[in-house]
Structure 1
Amino acid sequence: MAGKNAATLPRKTYEQELLRLQAELVKLQEWVRVTGARLVVIFEGRDAAGKGGTIKRVAEHLNPRVARIAALPKPTERERTQWYFQRYVEHLPAAGEIVLFDRSWYNRAGVEHVMGFCSQEEHRLFLRQCPVFERMLVEDGILLRKYWFSVSDTEQQDRFRRRLDDPLRRWKLSPMDLESITHWEAYSRAKDDMMVHTDISEAPWYVVESDDKRRARLNMIAHLLGSVPFHEVPPPVLELPRRPASTGYERPPRDLQTYVPDHAATLS
């Protein structure tokens, strides 16, 4: 495990290894598709812990028809009256699919509990039911992997500050994110309680040290690849066909269509 004081990974080393791991993820995806496996990967952690960036790198070269990201909004009024896990069940994979949960049913163990969006009894019920629910998923054949991205308080605050100053990433911040700074210890206690109840042998938690985003991404992806017993599936043999001879088609005059202006030409 990388320590918090480990030297920052050089960008070139990081990019080379990331590309290698992403190629392995493509092999994993093909194995899932061909064998009909079902893979669920849960990404949890504090705000700005690096979950989104890691998910982006995991999914970057995967087929969106096989691997999809589930990032559920807050529940509707109707969903609030359902069994808590019900809306998540709808997003579980069918055969040959991978689902990456950008936050998950563990919202109830974290933000909902800390911010008072659920009652104490609802929170206790979740901690009782969650291990049962996950055992049912695993027993049914779903490959379930759970990752907790652990970030220090100083690093989280630095990331918040950088986002505030970056117009391209400011959208990532919400008042709720900033409020989490003042509830640091409450979130810590909630996480510890969650781990006690839901770190089960059938679906253990894996903690990713994420103060260094590059190390966190590589470590998480490498672990995922090593935890799934997949093998390389030979790709189908494809051959580019010869273009047939013209049958006399003529393209309509260009002035009959509306073209996008050549913005790129203004840059030279």
Structure 2
Amino acid sequence: MTVSGIDVASYQSTDYSTAGLSFVMVKATEGSSYVNPRHAAQVATGRGHGLVVGHYHFARPGSMTAQVTYFLQHAAPGTGDVLALDWEDAGVSGAEKDEFIKHLQAASPAHRVVLYCNRDFWLNRDRTSFCGDGLWIADPNAPAGHPQITHPWTFHQYSETGGVDHDVANFASAAALRTWASKGHAPAYEPFPGVAWFTVGRRSPIVAAMHDRLVAVGCNHYQSSANKDVIGSGDIASYEAWQRKYNAEHHKGWTGAALKWPPGKETWDALRVPNV
């Protein structure tokens, strides 16, 4: 079984559709002098919709260690993010590919590191089959999830439609992908504090974190961000919008009180409020 995702660069919108997706790979850097100007916003869109986020670096001839440093500086990966080397430039040798991956693994041990390349590079330029924690293979001539290689693969870029590259990940579920990406350590989210906790006027950094997440998932019914750490009418309206959105996207069939304040555990857990 597989789960679906896309990869984006500066050519794509920052407000890309996330419907049906479990992950997004975002171009961060290229060589030692280029940063995708949309990287931060494209990452924020993925995070806001609960996707596993990946960052990739397009390698150019030159110092691999310098490019790793440049990549990490500008990608600023978070917990559970995936890092990828994009190996497409024929001026970058297979040995340099290996050097980049090994240096990146050493420099960022908390993250999964994968290799992206097309089928020609993998079959005809690679000499070691070294791909870090996984191979992200580009093979648009094969059906999704069936790249024409014998080596185990983790991601398959299989098509480009509507100006967006489409991928699948070789995992049974989005949860399995997230667990792999975080190396078995799930990102820390605030546990559900209980229905009685959600009283108007309560001040807490958890409320501010909830505010930010509701804005990120497109349920912003706030008049302002002043006193965002205090539960108020904006939180109620925004959270009820989130409940309606979750209900529709997951076909829950909820009605009446199930869509009203206060929050319930299921929608709270799905909102993924960061642990503060």
TM-score where L is the length of structure 1: 0.30
Greater fraction of residues in strand = 2
TM-score where L is the length of structure 2: 0.30
Greater relative contact order (CA < 8 Å, ≥ 6 in sequence): 1
